[in-house]
Structure 1
Amino acid sequence: MSNLLTSMVDKIRIDLGDMFVITEMTDGQITGNPGPGDRAALVGPDIQAGPSGLILTSRIGEGFEHFVRYELWDTHPDPLETWDELWVGELRIESGTIAISEWMSLHDWEDFPAFDVGERDLSWSVRVLTKVMSNTEEPDFPDDIYKVQLYRLQLWRAS
């Protein structure tokens, strides 16, 4: 049985079809590959992966928020049946921290908090899951009166 060691939730606002990055951060600076403006290999629907970062593409419309929950596990976590699995692979996180970043920005870059995995110079197994949630409670109202895309980035030591 796997145990959740620590977690953190962050959010970013992007538009439908736009991208954002989850990548290595060192001393408050994005240092991962890919980083902002970079490209990486397409490894699944809506996800590109590089050696130390990911690029994710939005499935929801303009101006909606995207929430990322980082989860550090002691071993491979159990599957979550109601979530879409985007990718499973490895990331090398030498600095021991990762963060969200905008992929492109027409304004000053936002500062996002880093998630500390607790150890430096390691490769981590990663599973990326997503779920889009909208109005399903009130059928008399449009389903897009609110919409949010959720991500889980589950990390555990690579074997």
Structure 2
Amino acid sequence: MAEPIKHMVVEIKSAWNSPMVVDSAALAGEDHAPWDEEWSPSGLDDWARAGHNAVVFDKNMDIDACIRLELWTDEPSPTPPMWDHMWDGDIYLRSGQLQIHDLHEAWSRGDVFDVGQRDATWAVRIQHRRLENDQEPDYPRDIYQVDLFKLQFWKLEAF
């Protein structure tokens, strides 16, 4: 049975429009990065792109977001269908040290999330949901919106 090893939650303020989870080796110029021409991501229906060393999210600049990173011993059970989008795939991580940055700005947020192994391909499940004001019908829905992103990592071969 899969068990969570650790997690990290990072809040992103509304000014960021392309937050990304990126490997430190890409930030240091040691491997392919989302701003390189060689980076060839898989598009996830206009809500994210996943590729070598990074996942880039497409987020409305007017909305805050939270990104949750999780490391698991094995593939976690699928969560209830509360997510608007979900993608399962794999991602190569050069250093295994993940950081939250903005693709277009030099902003970063949070600590380094260490998956514990470098030069490895990891299985990943990426999920997205937008929460809106749906409890107070007397007020506009857009007064409260937040994008939630969850990335669950596990080794292709269990620990």
Q: What TM-score do you get using the length of structure 2 for normalisation?
A: 0.82
Query: 1:44 corresponds to which letter in structure 2?
Result: L
Report how many residues are paired: 153
Are 2:129 and 1:128 equivalent residues in the alignment? no
* Residue in 2 that maps onto 1:48: 49
* Residue in 2 that maps onto 1:140: 138
* Residue in 2 that maps onto 1:33: 32
Give RMSD over aligned pairs. 2.5
- The alignment partner of 1:144 has SS state of helix
Q: Name the CA shift for 1:32/1:24 in 2 (closer, same or farther; >3 Å).
A: farther
More moved, 25-34 vs 112-121: 25-34
Separation (CA, whole Å) in 2 of partners of 1:104 and 1:27: 15
Separation (CA, whole Å) in 2 of partners of 1:24 and 1:134: 31
* Residue in 2 that maps onto 1:101: 101
| 1:14 to partner: Cα distance | 4.5
Work out whether residues 87 and 128 of structure 1, in 8 Å CA contact, stay in contact via their aligned partners in 2: yes
Q: Name the CA shift for 1:52/1:97 in 2 (closer, same or farther; >3 Å).
A: same
More moved, 83-92 vs 25-34: 25-34
Once the two structures are superposed, residues 10-66 of structure 1 have per-residue CA deviations (whole angstroms, 9 ceiling, x without a partner) of 1223469x42221101497475633347663343212222222122111x4x33211
| 1:111 to partner: Cα distance | 3.0
Are 2:75 and 1:76 equivalent residues in the alignment? yes
Separation (CA, whole Å) in 1 of partners of 2:65 and 2:43: 20
Unaligned runs of 5+ in 2: none
Work out whether residues 43 and 87 of structure 1, in 8 Å CA contact, stay in contact via their aligned partners in 2: no
More moved, 40-49 vs 124-133: 40-49
Identity of aligned residues (%): 27
Separation (CA, whole Å) in 1 of partners of 2:34 and 2:49: 11
Once the two structures are superposed, residues 120-148 of structure 1 have per-residue CA deviations (whole angstroms, 9 ceiling, x without a partner) of 22211011001100112211111111110
Q: Name the CA shift for 1:32/1:154 in 2 (closer, same or farther; >3 Å).
A: farther
Separation (CA, whole Å) in 2 of partners of 1:102 and 1:93: 18
